[in-house]
Structure 1
Amino acid sequence: MSSQAPLSGPGPTPVPGPSIEPLRLLVAADMGAVNEEIMRRMESDVRLIPELASHLIASGGKRIRPMLTLGAAKLCGYGGDKHILLAACVEFIHTATLLHDDVVDESERRRGAETANVVWGNQASVLVGDFLFSRAFQLMVQSGSLEVLRILAGASAVIAEGEVLQLMTANDLASGEASYLKVIESKTAALFASACRVGAVIAGRDQADAEALDAYGRDLGIAFQLVDDALDYAADGASLGKNTGDDFREGKVTLPVLLAHERGDETERAFWKRVIETPDQQQEADFAEALRLMRRHGSLAATLDRARRYGQAAKDALGRFTPGPTRDALAEAVDFAIARAV
């Protein structure tokens, strides 16, 4: 009688998930030029400016927004060098908003490191953020395109409006989903959309192509933020780049909270009202209770499902462009943004 030998050797090779690497590799040479432009534009005789700006810019961010500008320009067949200036401009706008956000939110960590406002104080962070906005506008003007200036200046104004709206609706559960979506469309999606749209503009593509890339970026930006808001309740701090539960402790009204509150009973709604509208009354066990209620009512899963729908809309917007590695990489960037929650 023969016996069967036990199975040996490695198990099945895991299937790699979606990655930002295809896009990063496609624009690597241009991204190197963007980084050089960023470092050059941060130079100042006022020593604190490059010191503080470098702290955030060099802290390991994925640079998704400038990569989208480069990828959009490549998708549209652009052959000049203005996309370098505009990608640097987009990164400066993003970095300036982060500096201001961290002051407003009193954040202590970003991308695993202490925030600039913790290291240098609120005043320095706000003023250096203003300096970066000024640099961004210089780059817009240098592009020589009034349309580019209109798009990126408009995005900067919309971002500021989103910040004010978020401040107005802070800790207010009655503000609802419409206000929440307006905030993330303004604070996050507007820059994603503009970062992509300018790629079509400098390439001289028609309005339909510009609108398609705008839609791609906008839907990707909304999906990206929805995932971020879910991750605050479902990720470890190391992978999230900030302390898990920061949104909860600040009483931020995000979609996972709104859905759990809406689907809860009277006792649960009273809990949410206390911890979100008066976060200074939170107790040690409240975060664990918030997680339990979110799981009970499926609010995290519903948030991620919403993100997937926006992600699909973003990929659909690429359909009018010629198939190829660049279009594939931009589509995979959407899958990557959503897969962060897996």
Structure 2
Amino acid sequence: MDQLLSTPAIAQGLRKVETRVQRLGGSSALPAINDAAGRIIRAGGKRLRPAMTLATSLALGKTPDRRVVTAAACVELIHAGSLVHDDLMDGATQRRGARTLNAELGDGRALVVGDFMLARAGLAAITAVSRPVAEVLAAAVVELAEGQYLETTDLFNPHRTKESALRSVTGKTAALFRAGCLVAAVCAHASDEDRVRMAAYGERFGLLFQILDDLLDLTASSERLGKPAGNDLRQGVYSLPLLMTGADVSDLLGRDMSDERVEEVLRRLRAGGIVDITLAYCRDLAADAVTALPAIRDQEVATLLRELPDAYIQRVASLAQLTPVG
């Protein structure tokens, strides 16, 4: 992942994306909204989604121009707005070690800021990129909302199915990765087949990205996460890694999760092989992602995209294996 982000053409493009994201996030007529959106934008993150947009453009033979940079910025702004909504729905007070907007401003104002960021991305896409790109991003926001809603219908449900969890993850996370690759393909005027292939690559990567994030919530320390370990358990979100493991934890799950009960669930999950089972599942997704890639003439970019899924798995594997919980 670090190699992708540090590739000169992508690193240069990301600097332009960063400038564009900050301008979009600071474009409200109300300074208070600009300040709040700016806090989220400046809070950190690897900018992996726009990096994949830029990489897709290069892979399809198009040097990222203003339209591609703006499309990538819109992808990142949608992601940032969705984080505001996620924190609001979870009642979270911290993200990456900093207080969330809902903790600082209250639920109502945080909701409006998240709405502003999503709407501003859509407006920029249709006015500064193209209608087809705006349609792709709007469809991704619809899927994001549906995926998040589906998750809420299964909160605290010990009988949640793996299929339901996968549908939720596809909507709330993988759809935006897919869209990031697809908008670059649209800007590059790629063939229908290449658009389908790049979209499939982005979706498969997005799936493994979220599943591995869910794994870390169940295996990494609070210090590593920047939020309490096992937070999904407290929120009643029974993620795919939990559902795939053979560990029996149903007697401990519920709405009143003490720290001791959470630690016991996490201990049982690790003993039940949750790390190995989840990593094996994600390796299959990584193989599917690489298979989906179209022919890429630029060998450097081709290598980056082929190696990215496995490199990300290895990064998370080291954290999951070496940072005990409890």
Distance between the aligned counterparts of 1:270 and 1:22, measured in 2?
43
**Match of residue 27 from structure 1:** 10
In 2, are the aligned partners of 1:20 and 1:329 still within 8 Å (CA)?
A: no
- Bigger CA drift: 47-56 or 126-135? 47-56
**Match of residue 282 from structure 2:** 307
1:121 paired to 2:106: yes
Q: Superposition pairs for residues 89-168 of structure 1, below 5 Å?
A: 89-168=74-153
Distance between the aligned counterparts of 1:284 and 1:191, measured in 2?
33
Moved over 6 A (4+): none
Post-superposition Cα deviations, 1:49-70, rounded to whole Å, max 9, x if no partner, equal 1211111111111111111111
3-state secondary structure, aligned to 1:89: helix
Cα offset for 1:284?
3.3
**Match of residue 4 from structure 1:** none
Q: Superposition pairs for residues 1-342 of structure 1, below 5 Å?
A: 19-25=1-7, 26-43=9-26, 44-79=28-63, 80-260=65-245, 263-264=246-247, 268-271=249-252, 275=253, 278-280=254-256, 282-318=257-293, 320-338=295-313, 339-342=315-318
Amino acid at match of 1:301: D
Distance between the aligned counterparts of 2:81 and 2:6, measured in 1?
23
Post-superposition Cα deviations, 1:200-224, rounded to whole Å, max 9, x if no partner, equal 1111110111111101100000000
In 2, are the aligned partners of 1:229 and 1:256 still within 8 Å (CA)?
A: yes
In 2, are the aligned partners of 1:311 and 1:334 still within 8 Å (CA)?
A: yes
3-state secondary structure, aligned to 2:29: coil
Cα offset for 1:197?
1.0
Cα offset for 1:321?
2.1
**Match of residue 324 from structure 2:** none
In 1, are the aligned partners of 2:219 and 2:270 still within 8 Å (CA)?
A: no
**Match of residue 16 from structure 1:** none
Distance between the aligned counterparts of 1:107 and 1:341, measured in 2?
26
Distance between the aligned counterparts of 1:316 and 1:84, measured in 2?
27
- Bigger CA drift: 311-320 or 166-175? 311-320
Which runs of 5 or more structure 1 residues have no equivalent in the other structure?
A: 1-18
Structure with higher RCO (Cα < 8 A, 6+ apart) = 1
Cα offset for 1:149?
2.0
In 1, are the aligned partners of 2:93 and 2:100 still within 8 Å (CA)?
A: yes
**Match of residue 11 from structure 1:** none
Distance between the aligned counterparts of 1:239 and 1:196, measured in 2?
29
Cα offset for 1:144?
4.6
3-state secondary structure, aligned to 2:54: helix
**Match of residue 7 from structure 1:** none
Distance between the aligned counterparts of 1:147 and 1:195, measured in 2?
13
Amino acid at match of 2:10: V
Distance between the aligned counterparts of 2:35 and 2:311, measured in 1?
32
Q: Between the two proteins, what is the percent identity of the paired residues?
A: 33
Give me the TM-score of the superposition, normalised by structure 1: 0.87
Cα offset for 1:42?
2.0
Distance between the aligned counterparts of 1:256 and 1:148, measured in 2?
33
Amino acid at match of 2:133: V
Distance between the aligned counterparts of 2:173 and 2:45, measured in 1?
15
Distance between the aligned counterparts of 1:45 and 1:335, measured in 2?
44
Cα offset for 1:20?
2.3
Distance between the aligned counterparts of 1:253 and 1:246, measured in 2?
10
Amino acid at match of 1:84: V
Q: CA RMSD in A?
A: 1.7
Cα offset for 1:290?
0.9
Structure-2 change in CA distance of 1:56 and 1:252 (3 Å): same
Post-superposition Cα deviations, 1:200-257, rounded to whole Å, max 9, x if no partner, equal 1111110111111101100000000111011012112333232221112212111232
Distance between the aligned counterparts of 2:5 and 2:304, measured in 1?
5
In 2, are the aligned partners of 1:102 and 1:117 still within 8 Å (CA)?
A: yes
Cα offset for 1:319?
5.0
- Bigger CA drift: 154-163 or 295-304? 295-304
- Bigger CA drift: 21-30 or 195-204? 21-30
Post-superposition Cα deviations, 1:65-97, rounded to whole Å, max 9, x if no partner, equal 111111111111124321011011001110111
In 2, are the aligned partners of 1:159 and 1:188 still within 8 Å (CA)?
A: yes
Cα offset for 1:114?
1.5
Q: Count the aligned residue pairs.
A: 314
Amino acid at match of 1:312: A
Post-superposition Cα deviations, 1:98-123, rounded to whole Å, max 9, x if no partner, equal 10010001112212212111112111
